[in-house]
Amino acid sequence: MKVVHVTEIIDGKGLGALADSELELVEVHAAECADCAEALFAARFTQGLLRVHAETVTAEPPAFFETRVLATIREKYVERLPFWSFRRWWQASYGMVGAMVLIAAVLGMLTLFAPAANDQGDMSSYSLYSTEADVLNKRSARDLSREQLLEVIYSGKKDQGKR
């Protein structure tokens, strides 16, 4: 008759989880089989060792562990947030919002104090400058020779055409 060893049962579920009938089968076989008796002894010894080990394995967090974790988080994530992080952009937007408020304030002041541009006519009088103003600014037209005057007028028209 073929001998059926019981190491599969021993290692399969763990000794603690064996049903009474399974444990009986293991013990009856181990009484007759030296190899399985050795395996059963080693399995019980291993289980005992692991229970002792479990009793001794403890670790407590040190005092203020949460403070250390937060410090690491700030160092790692908050100050070097990824490009796509919402919080990074939120933080960066503080400066931008400030600048926008300042610009809005300056524009507001200008609207209050600058003269109002009412119609197109007024605007065209401001744009008169080009040729004539160039001449008037440079020196009096009377000081220029006819050729120089034509030259200035001509080049002014050329500039206007370019615009």
Partner 1 sequence: MRLADEYGTMSEIDLARQAAGGDESAFAEIVKRFSPRVFSYSARFFKRHSLVEEAAQEVFLKAYTQLANYEGRGSLEGWLTRITVTTCINILRSTKPQSELTVSELSDDESEWLEERLMNAASLDHQTHEDKLIAADLVWRVLETLPPDESFLIQMLEGEGATVKEVARMTGWSEAKIKTKAFRVRRRMRESIQKLLNAKDGRLRKG
User: In the complex, which residues of this chain contact partner 1 (CB under 8 A)?
Assistant: 7, 10-12, 14, 16, 38-39, 41-62, 65-70, 72-73, 76-77, 87
- Which residue lies nearer to Zn ion by CB, 28 or 101? 28
Burial class, 51, CB count within 10 angstroms (exposed 0-12 / middle 13-18 / buried 19+): exposed
Q: Which of residues 34 and 116 has its CB atom nearest to Zn ion in the complex? A: 34
| Binding-site string for Zn ion from residue 22 to residue 61, where x marks contact by CB under 5 A and - marks none | -----------x--x-------------------------
Q: Which amino acid is at 120?
A: Q
Least spacing, CB of residue 37 vs Zn ion, in Å: 8
Q: For CA atoms 136, 139, 140, 144, give the dihedral sign.
A: negative
Residue 156: which of 96, 141, 122, 98 has the closest Cα?
141
